[in-house]
A and B are shown apart, each in its own frame.
Chain A
Amino acid sequence: MINIDIAYRTVLMLANSDIRGNVKPTELRLAINDAVNEIAEEYFYEVNRLLNRQNRGFINGGIENIPDRIREKILHFLVEDQLLVYAEPYFNLPNDLRYIDSVFYNDEANVEFCKDNRNFRQLSYSKDTKPTLNYPIGLQIGTKIKISPSVINDKVTVSYLRNPKIANWSYVVIDGSEIFNPSSSSFQDVDLHSSEFNNLIVKTLHRFGINLKEADIVQITSNEKGQDFNQENAS
């Protein structure tokens, strides 16, 4: 988690000026949550890009293995082994699910997901690939999943990447000023790996730059992002 108050104050420090005016908490919430979603979705592309570099021998092992570090950031969103509820003929998926990591039957048999219904049916009827209790198959249909063989109707657990929680800098207004109130029930820190602080600030500022029509902020944050990208890809 990233402390939202520090993030907010950092953004204010960089974006606020007498000319530009004040960044309001409601705007901050929108900008930060948009940035969080962008960051969370970019991980998969980054891992792929960096794995290609790794396979060409450009990435070292150990703690400096960057694909592993990005995977750590992805796993920030992992929810493990949640028992699924069966409503014939489907299992209902959790509400906060974004991507399925794995589905297991009876803690042992990994359910392999099919690309589409055609694939699911083909595997179901082909003699050598017919699903078994050792090797069940599944198909995601919206917020439900179908599992074959159909005798499986309980003991199914899912591990998944959840949606990021919606960050909220909660406050009370005293004498016309917004005062940070972390004890509010709606309070929520920024739901990202702690290493993303700088990235979050840059992306949030970028949004404020667009919002305030300040070309210099947009320019600076774009340069910052470009420099980061170049640094990551330097041999």
Chain B
Amino acid sequence: MANQTPEDYYSETENFGASQYVSLKDVVDSMLLEAQDDDSFIKNVRRAKLIKIGKDAIRLVTRQAANKIFAIEITVPDTLFFPMPQDYLNYARVSVVVTDNSSNSLRLQPLDVNYGINTATGYLQDNEGDLLFDQDGNILTSDSSNGYARPYKTYQFSSSYQPMVNASKFSKYGEFKPDSERGQFLFSSDLMDKEVVIEYISDGLPLGVAEDEILIHKFLRETVENWVYFGCIERNRNVPANEKQRALNRYKTTLHQSKMAMADLDILRIARSMRANTMTL
């Protein structure tokens, strides 16, 4: 907002931190301005193509450099499965909220991923073992013995010494499995009715949101624009190969700069971490 006073800023919570971001519309409008130059390689690129490549660029750069983790908190339902968020790409960490008795405060304790939770699709068969088909000729399926039909019960963690037990199967706080096929998280039975925080990576493009509400960090803006430019000329016959190579190199350079800027590296935190490792007990 060009004429926003400090009073305007602090009076609306939705203004907080807004200066970190630019919208996809800003990026597209900026590229359209560049395309108006008579000598530009992208002067005849249609706007729809800029928007399409702009969205691709946000997906790509968000994945490669954004370093942005979204988090949601849910209560694990009795069914022990919960749908993935709308803009979910991959999980970063799934934790349960537990009470720390020493400080009487809440802490996040990471859950263990357990790919042993069965998510297989069950084929229906008759009593002779032959497959059953529907009227369209497709195999009839059901949740036979998977985690959707039979909630997964975890081994109980025991702090006592049990030399004959495979401790790798234990999980102190519970287990989960992301089922990408069906877009669900499955949880172990000990997490029922507990608060769980799912931290995940988004593709940066929430569905059904207008171009001026799709936001990207300003550290990524130049990288996104450089990808859009490269994407516009990449498959054009009349653009010289050296210009394509230059554009690609420029994108890679700015991507590297964006990664460095977004990495949140801090010498004091590194020093603190190293101090902890050398601490004498």
Residues of A in contact with B (beta carbons under 8 Å apart): 51, 54-55, 67, 110, 112, 123, 126, 128-129, 132-135, 137
List of B residues within 8 angstroms of A133 by Cβ: 210
With beta carbons under 8 angstroms apart, the residue of B38, B39, B56, B211 that contacts A135 is: B211
B224 CB → nearest A CB, Å? 15
List of B residues within 8 angstroms of A135 by Cβ: 28, 47-48, 51, 211
Residues of B in contact with A (beta carbons under 8 Å apart): 25, 28, 38-39, 46-48, 51-52, 55-56, 210-212
With beta carbons under 8 angstroms apart, the residue of A54, A67, A134 that contacts B25 is: A134
Chain B residue nearest to A55 (CB atoms) is B39
Q: Name the residue in B28, B39, B48, B55 with the highest tally of chain A Cβ atoms < 10 Å from its Cβ.
A: B48
The reply to whether A128 and B52 form a contact with Cβ atoms under 8 Å apart is yes
List of A residues within 8 angstroms of B56 by Cβ: 128
Instruction: Report Cα–Cα, A132/B208, bound state, in Å.
Output: 10
The reply to whether B210 and A128 form a contact with Cβ atoms under 8 Å apart is no
B167 CB → nearest A CB, Å? 48
Chain B residue nearest to A131 (CB atoms) is B48
The reply to whether A67 and B52 form a contact with Cβ atoms under 8 Å apart is no
Instruction: Report Cα–Cα, A126/B52, bound state, in Å.
Output: 10
Interface SS, B side? helix
Q: Could you show 29 A-B contacts with beta carbons less than 8 Å apart? A: A51-B38, A54-B38, A54-B39, A55-B38, A55-B39, A67-B38, A110-B47, A112-B46, A112-B47, A112-B48, A123-B48, A126-B52, A128-B51, A128-B52, A128-B55, A128-B56, A129-B48, A129-B51, A129-B52, A132-B210, A132-B211, A133-B210, A134-B25, A134-B210, A134-B211, A134-B212, A135-B28, A135-B47, A135-B211
Q: Which 3 pairs between the two chains have the least Cβ-Cβ distance?
A: A129-B48, A128-B52, A112-B47
Q: Given A110-B47, A135-B48, 6 other A-B contacts at CB below 8 A? A: A67-B38, A112-B47, A128-B52, A129-B48, A129-B51, A134-B211
Instruction: Report Cα–Cα, A129/B48, bound state, in Å.
Output: 6
List of A residues within 8 angstroms of B212 by Cβ: 134
Chain B residue nearest to A115 (CB atoms) is B46
Chain A residue nearest to B46 (CB atoms) is A112
Chain A residue nearest to B24 (CB atoms) is A134
List of A residues within 8 angstroms of B55 by Cβ: 128
